[in-house]
Amino acid sequence: MAQKIANVILDKDFSIGTVDSRIYGSFIEHIGRTVYGGIYEPNDPSSDENGFRRDVIALIKELNVPIIRYPGGNFVSGYNWEDGVGPRESRKRRLELAWNTVETNEFGLNEFMKWSKLANTDVIMAVNLGTRGVNEARELVEYCNHPSGTYLSDLRVSHGFKEPYAIKTWCLGNEQDNHPQIGYKTATEYGRIAAEAAKVMKWVDPRIELVACGSTNGNMPTFPQWDATVLEHTYDHIEYLSLHSYYWKKDGDTASYLASSVEMDAYIRSVISTCDYMKAKKRSKKTINLSFDEWNVTRQWGEDHFEPWSIAPPAGEHIYSLEDAIVGASMLISLLKHADRIKIGCQAQLVNFIAPIMARPGGEAWRQTIFYPYLHASLYGRGTVLNPVISSPLSDCKEFTDVPLLETVSIWNKEMEALTIFALNRDQVDSLQFKCDVRNFAGYKIIEHIVLENQDDQDASNTFENPNQVLPHNKGNASIDNGMITAELFKLSWHVIRLAKVV
């Protein structure tokens, strides 16, 4: 059989857009052991005086996470933010209906804001538009962002936080089009309350920017009409529309799972089209950008079993394989390919629940396989996304046709004179010969070729017992000659080819 070859041409004069660092954000919700036993565990040997796990914070800093969405997610649609502030001894325990647990409120808004500073990350705060509404939304902004001199801002000061948090980005609820969501609404119902909440929130603090709920996913029966109707009401008040997508292997169909980002790309294009249609309809000069504030690979939902009304039960603690890491990497590439419109991305969740970081109670934290593409993109994917010319072998699978075996995106950092090529090979059997024309980047040389692979077992995983079974290495064989890069992309592998200008 002839060797499979993929060709790419890159030119610094042809670009898609500049990467907003927030595209490498994440998400922490009160679900499973994400908070309790994840970022917060007072009795853990690694925890500081606040009860924050130092080992988890260290891994989050390693990822260089720029922003984190909090506190939900489905959780926020039944959450009273007031329950999580003030003296702990006076906080109320509540039945948490979204996840059938008990919320102790031991950890709340102020603890999260203190934690986020230690983790060197900004915050996207979500307001409850499920069981609550306009008044509670503007009161939360006042508590967080107003300096002092009013009841709510002085209440924050009395809780020990003199300086306002100055939270810039806010989500107007969560997945309100989904029937299981607490406070489910029609598109018109949600659009109206979101518009009114947005209006008064910006009256309290005109500096904030807002994310309205798009469809829960691209397979919702009301998509994309929901999005269009919501934009009809909110267009003049918001800056972003949200997207959510999760992918998992269905019925053992590995090939379709590996091609998941094909569906993700189509979903993104549809939402962009919907936003631009509404821009034209309203004759607006403003462009609505996208916040892909929930995305990840996962397992089929419904496999967790725990006692109802327990506190922070283990849930969604999926152990990810190399295969999962490749799909997650392809999703990162999809986000970057649309960097002109996607300004915020949140991999969900950050710790324990479908997460890149796992933390064992009383034990160590470790990196899952999906940690590494996220790490590489966050560290090296800052700059301008180039618009490439790509020729790749194609394959068909059960759910998709003409799936490219090569998935790739390239980032040029002009100031640092650095070029990073992210590439993956979906092929489960054969290597792919990668050829990339970079003659427009005179004087650039390869400084590193990072590879994530496991040629013996595509189901290989990192576990507590064996946390280093799948590790990236820098022994890739990329070379450059007369402006042409050549490299072998091994079967089912993720690659980071880094170049810099040699003076």
In 3D, which of 86, 76, 70, 84 has the Cα closest to residue 156?
A: 86
Interatomic CA distance for residues 464 and 352, integer angstroms: 12
Interatomic CA distance for residues 10 and 344, integer angstroms: 25
In 3D, which of 25, 66, 120 has the Cα closest to residue 346?
A: 25
Interatomic CA distance for residues 396 and 179, integer angstroms: 34
Query: Is 294 one of the catalytic residues?
Result: yes
If you write DSSP's letter for every residue of 111-179 in order, what string do you get? HHHHHHHHTT-EEEEEE--SS--HHHHHHHHHHHH--SSSHHHHHHHHTT--S-----EEEE-S-TTST
Q: Which of 41, 96, 294, 323 is catalytic?
A: 294
Omega cis (within 30) before 73: yes
Interatomic CA distance for residues 62 and 54, integer angstroms: 12
Tokens 């990196």 correspond to what residue? 367
Interatomic CA distance for residues 73 and 96, integer angstroms: 13
Q: Residue 447: which residues within 8 A CB-CB, separation 6 or more?
A: 498, 499, 500
Cβ–Cβ < 8 Å for 458, 289 = no
CA distances from 407 to 44, 155, 169, 306, 493 (A): 41, 51, 31, 39, 11
Q: Residue 12: which residues within 8 A CB-CB, separation 6 or more?
A: 384, 386, 412, 414, 440, 441
Q: Which of 41, 103, 111, 175 is catalytic?
A: 175
Cβ–Cβ < 8 Å for 25, 124 = yes
Interatomic CA distance for residues 489 and 433, integer angstroms: 6
Cβ–Cβ < 8 Å for 190, 225 = no
Show the DSSP H helices in 301-440 as ranges. Answer: 322-337, 371-380
Put the strands of the sheet holding 493-501 in their side by side order: 15-18, 384-386, 406-413, 418-425, 493-501, 444-452
Query: Is 453 one of the catalytic residues?
Result: no
Extract the tokens encoding 116. Answer: 């986020």
In 3D, which of 27, 5, 119, 24 has the Cα closest to residue 411?
A: 24
Interatomic CA distance for residues 151 and 315, integer angstroms: 39
Which sequence positions are flagged as catalytic? Answer: 175, 294
